[in-house]
Amino acid sequence: MSCRVTVRIQSEPFDTADEITAISGGDNDVGAVVTFSGLCRDEAGTLHALEIEHYPGMAEAEIGRIADAAAKRWPVTALTVVHRHGKIGIGEQIVLVVAASRHRQAAFSAAEFLMDFLKSRAPFWKKEHRCDGTEGGWVDAKEADDAALSRWDRGKQG
């Protein structure tokens, strides 16, 4: 089954409601839409903003490859991923995944799979800007994020 994949990397904020309308509007076979939003948190009041760097070209391509893999695995109708770059303030949205399918399980699974792979495989890097004006340095990758990928190896039941 064919799946509409939309990937956008942008500095501007996005509107989740608009993306839900875009993914389900006009397609009467969509029965479920799952969204995931990743927000910039303040790390107990110490963080002022995040600066997100990306690899232009590869970021879009790699997310597209991850989305294609999700579409092969679950019967999803459409997948949308929007990821921001540049300076992002506390409480602002960083990333949005929208998955649409006939039944909810495919959309839930595809959205979770996309986020797990995006975190460890999509070429983005976060740098912290602290409230005291100092640069907090680059955020370290978490082993838990790598470990999250291995659970998708076990069978295809997702």
The residues that touch another protein, with contacts defined as CB under 8 A, are: 38, 52-55, 57-59, 61-62, 83, 94-95, 115, 118-127, 138-141
In degrees, rounded to 5, the angle at the alpha carbon of residue 75 between the alpha carbons of residues 72 and 80 is 80
Phi, psi (degrees; rounded to nearest 5) at 150: -65, -25
Q: Judged by CB, which is closer to another protein: 73, or 128? A: 128
Task: Tell the smallest beta-carbon distance from residue 122 to another protein (Å).
Answer: 5
The least distance separating another protein from the CB of residue 130, rounded to whole angstroms, comes to 17
Q: Rounded to the nearest whole angstrom, what is the least distance from the CB of residue 131 to another protein in the complex?
A: 20
Distance between CA atoms of 109 and 148, rounded to whole angstroms? Answer: 13
Q: Which residue has the tokens 């990928």?
A: 149
User: Which one, 15 or 146, has the nearer CB to another protein?
Assistant: 146
Q: Which residues on neighbouring strands pair with residue 127, listed in sequence order?
A: 51, 138
Q: What angle do CA 39, 14, 105 make, to 5 degrees?
A: 70
* CB 69, CB 61: distance < 8 Å: no
Give the nearer residue to another protein in terms of CB position, either 102 or 129: 129
Nearer to another protein, 36 or 108 (CB): 36
Provide the minimum distance between the beta carbon of 140 and another protein in the complex, in angstroms, as a whole number: 7
